[in-house]
A and B are shown apart, each in its own frame.
Chain A
Amino acid sequence: MTQFIIKSIGQRIVLLFFISIISHSIVHLAPGEPSLVDPSNPRMKAEDIQRIRAAFHLDEPLHVQYVYWMKDLFTDELKSFKDNQPVLKKIWDRFLNSLPLFIVGTLITWFLAFPVGIKAAINRGSTFDKTGTFLAYALISIPGFFLSYICIIFMVKTFNVPVIGMRTFGLEDAGLLFRSMDRVWHWTIPSLMSAVAGVAILSRYVRSQMLEVINQDYIRTARAKGLSEDAVIYRHGLRNALLPFITMFGLIIPGLIGGSVIFETIFAWPGMGRLGFEAILARDFPVILTLNFISAILVLVGTLISDILYAVVDPRIKF
C-alpha cells in the first residue's frame, strides 16, 4: 500500500512537470504580449516597451523564462504583471471567495442527486423515472448562462431578493441577523445554478448504478431472507452502488476553477474563475500560469485521493 502511494505520487510529479512545460509554452508562444495590450497609447515608446519586456524577462529565451517562473513560484516571490501584487496571495484571497460557493453547490448536488437517482431506479419505467430522465437531459442541454438569466429575472421579480455580487453594498452597519440573511440570499442562486448540471449528470449515474446493483443475486438473497425493503435497498443495495462515486468525489475538485468562469461572471462574484478571466484579458502571464498549475495539482491530488479511498473502502481491491 505505501509502495503504491509512493509510486503514484512519483508518477504524478512527472506528469505535473510536463503539464507545466506545456502550459508555459502555450501561453508564451501565443501572439499578444503584456507590453502590446495597449498599442494605441502614444506615450508608449519603443524603449518603454523594451524596458517592460526586460523587467518581466520577456526578452529571454523560453526555457530561461520557465526557470524564472518556477523559481519565483517556489520562493513565493512571483508578482502579477498587472499590479505587482504577490500572485499566491491574490489567488488565495479569491480562493476563499470561491470556496463557500463551491461547498454549497456540491452539497446541493449530492443531496439532491442521490434521492432522485435512487427513487428513479426503484420505480424504473414509472412517470417519475421518465420525467426525471427527460428533465436531466433538458438541464444538461440548456446553456448555463441562459438558465441563470431566466432564474435571476424570476427570483428578483417574485421574491424581490438581491442576487448579484457577494453582499449588498451599504449594509455594513445592519444587524448580524440581517447581514447573514443577505449573505445567504447572495449564495443561494449562484450555487444553485452551478449545481444544476451536476445534479442532472450525477442523478443519471446514481440511477444506472442502482439498477445494476438491484439485479444482483445478493439483493435477491436479502429479499429472500425476509429483510424489510428499506434494509435491502439502503443497507445492501446503496452501499455497493456507492463505490464508483468515490472516484467522482476526487474529480469534482478541479471544477473549482474551470467550471466557475461563466457563473462568477454573471453573478459578479470575485472568485478564482473571474480572476483567471481578468488575467487572460490583461495578458497577466504569471496569474494564468499559476492558476493552471494549481488546477492541475488539484486534479492530480483528487485522483490520488480517490484511488486511495477506493482501496480503503473496497476490500476486494489489493495492491
Chain B
Amino acid sequence: MNTITEMQDAEGLKPAVSLFRERWDIFKRNRTAYSSFIFLIVLLAIAFVGKALTRWFVVFDPQQVRLPEKFLPPLTSFTGKITPAEDAPAFNIYLMGTDELGRDVFARMLEGTSVSLTVGFVAVGISVALGIIFGGISGYYGNKKFGFLTVDTIIMRFVDIMLCFPTFFLILTVVALLPPSIYNIMIVIGLTSWMGTARFVRAEFLTLRELDFVAAARSQAIPEWRIIFIHMTPNAIAPVLVSATIGVASAILIESSLSFLGFGVQPPDATWGNILADGKQFIFDAPWITFIPGFSILFVVLAFNLCGEGLREAFNPKLQEGK
C-alpha cells in the first residue's frame, strides 16, 4: 500500500482514494451535519441500551403503575410512604417525572426511543427496497416491450398513480381500517413513500446501463438480477442514501401524527408519539409529559434532516472539482 502511494507521489498523481472515503472527508468538514451524525450514533446506542434495560434485564420498568405517585415533576426523589419499596424507580429518582398513572416517564422515553427508531428504519427500509426494485427494473429493462407498453411506461405510470394519492389521508384510511398494530404502521408508511427513491434509481440506471462495466458484466453471462442489484445498485446509491435519511425523519413525524389522531402505536407500548399524544390532555397540570417527548422528536428529526442535507452536499458532483 505504502509503495503504491510513494509511486503515485513520485509520478505526481493524486493518491488513490475511494469514492466513499473522499465524500466522507467532505461530509466531515460540514460541522453541523457531522455533529448531528454523532448525535444520531449516540441516540442509536441509547436506543439499544434502553431496549436492553426495559425489556431484557429490567432496571427501568416502563409499565410499573404507582397511583399515589402520579404527576410528580422531574427530578423528584422516590419517598416510598405508600408505594412499596420494590416498585421504586431505578436509583430512587424520577428523572423526568411521572405521568397520569404514576409511570416513570424516563423509563417510557427509553422504551420509546427504540420503538420510534424502529418504526423509522423499518418503514424506510421497505420504501428503499421497493424503490430500488421498481426503479432498477424500469431503468434496466427500459424499452423492453410487454404487450404494447414498455416496462418503463408501466412502472413509471404506476409511480404517477401513487403520487396522486394524498399520502397522509391514504395512510390514515388504511391504518384505521386494519387492526391496530405497530407492524401495519411501518408497512403502510413504507408502501406509500417509495416513489421518490424509484425515480432517483431509474434516472441513475438510465446512464449506468450504457457504461462499459455493465456491458462487460453482460458479456460474462452474469445473471441479470445480479447485474442489477450487485453491480449497478451500489453505483446509484448516493441519492438513495440522502432520501432515506430524510425519509426516517418524516416517518417518525408521520407516526407521531398518527398517534395524535389515536391510530398510532397502541398502549402499553410506548413511542415518543403516543407519550406526547397522551400527555397533551394534562398540558396545564403536567407540562413535562408533553414537552419532553415533543422536544426529543424535534431534536432527532432535526438531526436526521441536517445529516441528510450534509450528505446531499457531500455527494453533489459540483463540489468535486477543486477539492
List A residues at the B interface (Cβ < 8 Å).
Answer: 15, 18-19, 22-23, 26-27, 30-32, 137-138, 140-146, 149, 153, 254, 257-259, 261-262, 265, 273, 276-277, 280-281, 283, 288, 291-292, 295-296, 299-300
Contact = CB atoms under 8 A, between A and B. Distances in A.
Nearest to A18: B161
- Give 4 nearest A-B pairs by CB, closest first: A258-B166, A30-B177, A141-B301, A141-B302
Contacts of A18: 157, 161
A261 B169 contact: yes
A200 to B, nearest CB: 10
Contacts of A258: 166-169
B305 A137 contact: yes
B260 A15 contact: no
Contacts of B173: 26-27, 30, 280, 288, 292
B176 A146 contact: no
Contact of B305 (A141, A145, A259): A141
A21 B135 CA distance: 24
A32 B166 CA distance: 22
Nearest to B171: A258
Interface in B29-71: none
Contacts of B273: 143
A243 B177 CA distance: 42
A30 to B, nearest CB: 4
Contact of A295 (B169, B260, B261): B169
Given A259-B168, A261-B172, A292-B169, A19 B161 contact: yes
Nearest to B173: A280
10 contacts: A141-B297, A141-B302, A142-B297, A142-B301, A143-B253, A149-B283, A257-B169, A276-B169, A276-B172, A292-B170
A146 B276 contact: yes
Interface string B66-100: 00000000000000000000000000000000000
A262 B264 CA distance: 14
B298 A138 contact: yes
A305 to B, nearest CB: 15
Q: Which of B164, B257, B283 is packed against the most chain A CB atoms within 10 Å? A: B164
A26 B174 CA distance: 8
A254 B302 CA distance: 26
A57 B160 CA distance: 31
A13 B274 CA distance: 41
A208 to B, nearest CB: 11
A258 B171 CA distance: 10
A33 to B, nearest CB: 10
A141 B249 contact: yes
A125 B174 CA distance: 45
A262 B166 contact: no
Given A15-B157, A265-B261, A153 B169 contact: no
Q: How large is the interface on B (under 10, 10 to 19, 20 to 34, 35 or more residues)?
A: 35 or more
A292 B260 CA distance: 22
A300 B260 CA distance: 30
Q: Which of A15, A146, A149, A258 is packed against the most chain B CB atoms within 10 Å? A: A146
B257 A280 contact: no
A9 B181 CA distance: 41
Interface in B160-210: 160-161, 163-170, 172-174, 176-179
Given A142-B294, A144-B257, A149-B290, 12 more contacts: A15-B160, A15-B164, A137-B305, A257-B166, A261-B169, A265-B261, A280-B172, A280-B173, A292-B165, A295-B169, A299-B164, A300-B164
A146 B169 contact: no
Contacts of A26: 170, 173-174
A141 B305 CA distance: 8
Given A262-B260, A262-B261, A265-B261, A22 B297 contact: no
B23 interface: no
A142 B297 CA distance: 7
B306 interface: yes
B280 interface: yes
A143 B283 contact: no
Contact of B294 (A23, A146, A283): A146
A22 B192 CA distance: 13
B245 interface: no
Nearest to B276: A146
Interface in B289-323: 290, 294, 297-299, 301-302, 305-306, 309
A280 B305 contact: no
A19 B162 CA distance: 8
A27 B176 CA distance: 11
B271 interface: no
Contacts of B176: 280-281
Contacts of B163: 299
A45 B297 CA distance: 47
A165 B154 CA distance: 46
B161 A149 contact: no
B177 A31 contact: yes
Interface in B253-275: 253, 256-257, 260-261, 273
B161 A140 contact: no
A143 B297 contact: yes
Given A143-B253, A143-B256, A292-B166, A261 B261 contact: yes
Contacts of A32: 177
Nearest to A276: B169
B257 to A, nearest CB: 6
Nearest to B284: A153
A30 B175 CA distance: 10
Contacts of B166: 254, 257-258, 292, 295, 299
Contacts of A153: 283
Nearest to A17: B161
Given A19-B165, A143-B257, A280-B173, A138 B178 contact: no
Nearest to A146: B294
